[in-house]
Amino acid sequence: MAVTSTGNSSLDALSNSYKSNDKGKTEKEDALGRETFLAMLVAQLQNQDPLNPMDGTDFSAQLAQFSQLEQLMNLNESMDSLANSFSTDSEKDLVSYIGKQVTGKIESMAVKEGQVTGGFFSLSKTANVMVTITDASGKTIKKLSQGTKGSGAHLIKWDGTDTDGKAVSDGTYKYTVLANSGNGYEELPTTVTGTVSGLAYNNEKAYLVVQGVLVDPNALTSVINIDDNDQSAESVMAYLGKTITSNKPIISVEDGVVSGTDLSFDLEKKEGAVITIYDPWDKVVQKIILDEASAVEGQNTVNWNAVGENGYAVVDGLYYYTVEAESGTAQTPVSEEVSGIKYANGSQYLELKDSGRLVAISSITAIN
């Protein structure tokens, strides 16, 4: 309801002052809210008998009542705001993470008043490192040469300036890390693993402090209670650089292309085989026939172009395959060095260096 008054400058001032103070607020619909109360008061003053005006004491009492109503409404709004705050961040009880070992993905640095929260990366062996920082639109802000770094965890040092040396605006900036250990630059996974030492706030958001780095609780990929003897505290990062063996390789399709090399499997003798490719829901997406004339004893490979049985490209994601030979099920072993960690479908997988296949930690049969 709009509050209006005519013919009285004092009433106009009071009404305009109220509307100015109330601008930007969202008032709940009440039987008798602030605006309704003020409208009644203004109407009463406008329609009073000019020969028998309201007593000053009565008018003061009504203004006092309005002031009390205003304070109560403001108190209600404050309580609603406090309740909303507790129903979002507080319900997660971030304090419970302190002392636990977590692994979290970090891909951005925050800038506030010239101060920068540090980035993070890990190396399995000595490499030359380059960091590219981009803004929300994907535009490159700056490239940072980190020089040659040894194996282990490293912090990214950025002073919050762009390529021209000018301070960037406050906000969040993504970064990617490329490392060259002698075979060209490859993108590194940017994760941090360690014990949560405390909580810190940046831009009114709570973060976990892990190895001096701020980790968004929503970016955690694992949480381990290090006091639980039934769980291993070994980090997935420990697999980097090691050679692992698995009989269940996973295919990754990105941008419509199968990542890595052709699909491999072992045959005990020269015989025909059927390679069946499944999606994560165990639905068959394609079958590839290998005839006996094309097969060899030992390791065989077939090409899959990321096309399904319907003749259309499959959606990006993860797939797996099985091989049925004429004499029975064939093995699909992989034994390679782990070159990175890939996140997909809310889980983390080990990425193999040569074939480009992915391996779930639970499917590892040997570690060298």
> 236 pLDDT exceeds 60?
yes
Q: What share of the chain is helix, strand, coil (3-state, %, to 5)?
A: 20, 40, 35
List CB contacts of 146: < 8 A, sequence separation 6 or more: 128, 129, 130, 131, 154, 156
Percent of the chain with pLDDT over 90: 23
Q: Which residue has the tokens 């803004």?
A: 135
Note the pLDDT tens digit of each residue in 315-336: 988 999 999 998 888 889 899 9
Indicate the average pLDDT of the chain.
Answer: 77
CB 353 within 8 A of CB 255: no
Q: Look at residues 97, 354, 325 and name the one whose alpha carbon lies nearest to residue 219.
A: 97
d(Cα 40, Cα 185) in Å, to the nearest integer? 74
Q: Specify the amino acid at residue 59.
A: F
Note the pLDDT tens digit of each residue in 169-218: 888 888 888 888 888 888 877 777 778 888 877 767 788 887 767 788 88
Give residue 295's pLDDT.
93
**3 state SS of 40:** helix
Give residue 185's pLDDT.
85
